[in-house]
A and B are shown apart, each in its own frame.
Chain A
């Protein structure tokens, strides 16, 4: 007699099982197949092309009515199974019960719906089956705006499909970069860029707070208060194995239905397959392992030996034109080595992770032609020691060449601006070179490129070499560090002209050789980005040196010094009392500094947030004595008190400090304002020193009193205080926009020349624009870092993560 097999779920996994069974043992079982969806098996992973209109539903059906008829399978489609009774061995569907000898659960998984208010509003759709796909197609026919929650595989395929159907799509992703489980930051950046080129808006670190609407969805509210209009919301944040039937039947269920390597559940007559199962703590969300499982299920049902062994997996995104691939393990393991290849001109990024003599992981973007070859090396554990050096170039290149260090410059489009001072683009320079300007001097003379401040000299030289090849001998410019061949000036210029607004953008577009830089380039790039794009880029504390990250100076014994601001060197009895109390409370040593303020030395890191909170309460803010930024403005008592004083030097100093504090600069900036040429504030050895005279203000720049002692050079004489402030601010901004990281103002001046600075600043429009850009940056950065870090949630970070010395003492 034939045995009875009941299958719950006609999905991709059970479809394979049935094929194997009918091939290998056509007569062993009477089969009944339940499916909640009112249709048989189709290729679920091809729903995305259906959504985008590249395929029809008919094209993705894998098993049609004829197939089920020929294979004598009793189909109960459109019928939910509501219960399993293991004692009587029956399965109950909505239309009645059927008994079984063997049962196969293949219920797949259910989309995870984040529990926010409004999740049940009409117009909120998950992405799992044909009905969802049809609902999206229908909604998109009206056009309008769609918000996709979730920037993983499913969400991005939904977003791309909806965009192709003419909707305005925004993707919200909780993490810092897209598809963070499959991609690293660099590939995530390229993917984001590609999607944005298709008109899709991508918001990372975006947490959904609620879905808004009266009788249907109208908008999505984010945690940060942003409201996004939406006619359609697609939830694609993840999936949960569909285990309800198994749980009710008291089978062992963890996150999925637990099975052994033979795909048997805790009841040997009940098997499970597909996304609903869990094996050794592992879940399965891609079809490749499900197909392997299906083979094992068929064997077990026939009574043959077989065991399911999970294999390495690879991922591809099915969005036409976004070529990405990731496989293996690039997140864990010891003793690994990265090999990176970037080709900015083609938007290509490849990263291989090697452990010992084996390739263990690969991420590729833009060019995935060799992905199968790499995947093969990973799966087979091939010894790659012989081809290690050239591995990244793929199978065709074995024994082949090297990446061109000039590729970043060669890759620039003709309209890329090279010389910012004179607005000269790459195309014009190349034309001039081809027209016979074969050295730097000639290029300067014919195009004016690099003829002003000169910071683009390195780029012009590289263009000469790219255009002339070996006919041009490169002077060796100092690269930023081992991660790149570009100099600081090159990097700065390209960040501006190519509008690079994130670290990932710099690493990729400028062909960085490391994953995320090193201690030399990261702080520099971080500064360049925040100085040029204050609104788009957020300062990254992890790319700063310890003092700037902790907002205090670390001392040789590991304690810190704390120095509140005293505007223009002025203080009050109340402030002094607060400082005295803080010094006592935290056991600090008190020192009067050369910058006209008071330093509290010897404070423990754990106490920093508390002492800051105390000083904040007395109205004081950080003195930034630890930053590459504005330090102090030293003043004398000036006309307020001194019989020689010509102007209110103290007042001007305070105004300047209040305007400039909080700004980041290439190196530290110290100011001095003296009330007369007797110069009690020693203003003439500061980065910017103002000396008051009867006729107004003499502004000097580029002084220093460190290892080098230098007197300032006169920038300009002005008549009014307003002008003195305007010139000072404009000068600081010019330095911020053009200086090399860690060049003090005097070093920068020596490179660009005082003449050039004067020429720029003499133009009133230029001056006003610089001041505007400075103020814009201050709108973001002029905040007290102490107040931000004294907040309890942030202050926690200053404590040890764990302390086992306390535990042991108990």
Chain B
């Protein structure tokens, strides 16, 4: 496990998201109205829409391109759409966001 501090909870807007760039692609870190954080792939499986730019409602995000909605807990697309985004372990400790990045580091580069 490699829990890495990526910033303060307050760096992410309430009901918003920020981007984290990794070797394995871009990750969106979301903050809900109730101060929960979630991390998921930034790219919508439909047309690669940037999910970090979507509207966050409840524990879901809507893709800004074609309104696909994803549950941030499971990454599953909601409703009639079929698809899934990868979700990553993330937690809050003392107001800081910790992201588990071991799956995101490019080992072959090391």
Residues of chain A at the chain B interface (Cβ within 8 Å): 176, 184-185, 330-332, 334-336, 338, 514-519, 522-523, 541-546, 549-550, 554, 558, 797, 800-806, 808
Structural contact, B105 and A330, CB atoms closer than 8 A: no
Residue on B nearest A332 in the bound complex, by CB: B36
**Chain A residues whose C-beta falls within 8 Å of the C-beta of B53 in the assembled complex:** 546, 549-550, 554
- Shortest distance from the beta carbon of A806 to any chain B beta carbon, whole Å: 8
Q: Is B55 an interface residue (CB 8 A)?
A: yes
Structural contact, A546 and B21, CB atoms closer than 8 A: no
Structural contact, B13 and A797, CB atoms closer than 8 A: yes
Structural contact, B34 and A331, CB atoms closer than 8 A: yes
**Chain B residues whose C-beta falls within 8 Å of the C-beta of A185 in the assembled complex:** 33-34
Residue on B nearest A504 in the bound complex, by CB: B33
Q: A330-B34, A515-B33, A542-B55 are in contact. Are A554 and B69 (CB under 8 A)?
A: no
**Chain A residues whose C-beta falls within 8 Å of the C-beta of B16 in the assembled complex:** 541-542
Residue on A nearest B67 in the bound complex, by CB: A519
- Shortest distance from the beta carbon of B80 to any chain A beta carbon, whole Å: 13
Structural contact, B20 and A797, CB atoms closer than 8 A: no
**Chain B residues whose C-beta falls within 8 Å of the C-beta of A330 in the assembled complex:** 34
Within 8 A of A (CB), among B82-107: 97, 99, 101, 104-106
**Chain A residues whose C-beta falls within 8 Å of the C-beta of B54 in the assembled complex:** 519, 546
Structural contact, B109 and A808, CB atoms closer than 8 A: yes
7 A-B pairs with least C-beta separation:
A519-B62, A801-B18, A546-B53, A802-B6, A542-B15, A546-B64, A519-B55
Assembly CA distance A542 to B17 (angstroms): 9
**Chain B residues whose C-beta falls within 8 Å of the C-beta of A554 in the assembled complex:** 50, 53, 64
**Chain A residues whose C-beta falls within 8 Å of the C-beta of B6 in the assembled complex:** 801-802
Structural contact, B23 and A805, CB atoms closer than 8 A: yes
Assembly CA distance A541 to B53 (angstroms): 11
**Chain A residues whose C-beta falls within 8 Å of the C-beta of B34 in the assembled complex:** 184-185, 330-331
Structural contact, A808 and B74, CB atoms closer than 8 A: no
Task: Give me 29 A-to-B residue pairs in the complex whose CB atoms sit less than 8 angstroms apart, sorted by A's number.
Answer: A184-B33, A332-B36, A334-B74, A514-B57, A515-B57, A515-B58, A516-B15, A518-B62, A519-B69, A522-B57, A542-B13, A543-B15, A544-B55, A545-B64, A546-B53, A554-B53, A800-B20, A801-B18, A801-B19, A802-B21, A803-B21, A804-B21, A804-B23, A804-B104, A804-B105, A806-B21, A808-B23, A808-B106, A808-B110
Assembly CA distance A503 to B4 (angstroms): 35
Q: A331-B35, A519-B69, A801-B7 are in contact. Are A542 and B56 (CB under 8 A)?
A: yes
Structural contact, A804 and B58, CB atoms closer than 8 A: no
- Shortest distance from the beta carbon of B66 to any chain A beta carbon, whole Å: 11
Q: A330-B34, A543-B55 are in contact. Are A804 and B22 (CB under 8 A)?
A: yes
Assembly CA distance A800 to B7 (angstroms): 11
Assembly CA distance A800 to B16 (angstroms): 13
Assembly CA distance A558 to B107 (angstroms): 28
- Shortest distance from the beta carbon of B49 to any chain A beta carbon, whole Å: 9
Q: A184-B34, A330-B34 are in contact. Are A800 and B55 (CB under 8 A)?
A: no
Residues of chain B at the chain A interface (Cβ within 8 Å): 4, 6-7, 11-16, 18-23, 26, 29, 33-36, 50, 53-60, 62, 64, 67, 69, 73-74, 97, 99, 101, 104-106, 109-110
Residue on B nearest A516 in the bound complex, by CB: B33
- Shortest distance from the beta carbon of A480 to any chain B beta carbon, whole Å: 13
Assembly CA distance A127 to B8 (angstroms): 31
- Shortest distance from the beta carbon of B52 to any chain A beta carbon, whole Å: 9
**Chain A residues whose C-beta falls within 8 Å of the C-beta of B15 in the assembled complex:** 516, 542-543
Structural contact, A804 and B101, CB atoms closer than 8 A: yes
Q: A184-B34, A517-B57, A541-B13 are in contact. Are A800 and B64 (CB under 8 A)?
A: no
**Chain A residues whose C-beta falls within 8 Å of the C-beta of B55 in the assembled complex:** 518-519, 522-523, 542-545
Contacts A519-B55, A545-B64 supplied; 4 other A-B pairs, CB < 8 Å = A332-B36, A515-B57, A549-B53, A801-B6
Structural contact, A800 and B56, CB atoms closer than 8 A: no
**Chain A residues whose C-beta falls within 8 Å of the C-beta of B4 in the assembled complex:** 802
Structural contact, B73 and A335, CB atoms closer than 8 A: yes
Residue on B nearest A545 in the bound complex, by CB: B64
Structural contact, A516 and B57, CB atoms closer than 8 A: yes
Residue on A nearest B53 in the bound complex, by CB: A546
**Chain B residues whose C-beta falls within 8 Å of the C-beta of A544 in the assembled complex:** 55
- Shortest distance from the beta carbon of A111 to any chain B beta carbon, whole Å: 22
Residue on A nearest B12 in the bound complex, by CB: A801
- Shortest distance from the beta carbon of A635 to any chain B beta carbon, whole Å: 33
Residue on A nearest B62 in the bound complex, by CB: A519
- Shortest distance from the beta carbon of A787 to any chain B beta carbon, whole Å: 19
**Chain A residues whose C-beta falls within 8 Å of the C-beta of B57 in the assembled complex:** 514-519, 522
- Shortest distance from the beta carbon of B64 to any chain A beta carbon, whole Å: 4
Structural contact, B23 and A802, CB atoms closer than 8 A: no
**Chain B residues whose C-beta falls within 8 Å of the C-beta of A803 in the assembled complex:** 20-21
Assembly CA distance A294 to B8 (angstroms): 38
Assembly CA distance A541 to B16 (angstroms): 9
Contact of B20 among A515, A519, A523, A804 (CB under 8 A): A804
Assembly CA distance A516 to B34 (angstroms): 10
Assembly CA distance A514 to B53 (angstroms): 21
Structural contact, B110 and A802, CB atoms closer than 8 A: no
Q: A185-B33, A331-B34 are in contact. Are A801 and B11 (CB under 8 A)?
A: yes
Residue on A nearest B21 in the bound complex, by CB: A803
- Shortest distance from the beta carbon of B32 to any chain A beta carbon, whole Å: 9
- Shortest distance from the beta carbon of A502 to any chain B beta carbon, whole Å: 13
Structural contact, B58 and A514, CB atoms closer than 8 A: yes
Assembly CA distance A132 to B12 (angstroms): 39
Assembly CA distance A808 to B22 (angstroms): 9
**Chain B residues whose C-beta falls within 8 Å of the C-beta of A523 in the assembled complex:** 55
Residue on B nearest A177 in the bound complex, by CB: B33
Residue on A nearest B58 in the bound complex, by CB: A515
**Chain A residues whose C-beta falls within 8 Å of the C-beta of B29 in the assembled complex:** 801
Contact of A805 among B22, B60, B69 (CB under 8 A): B22
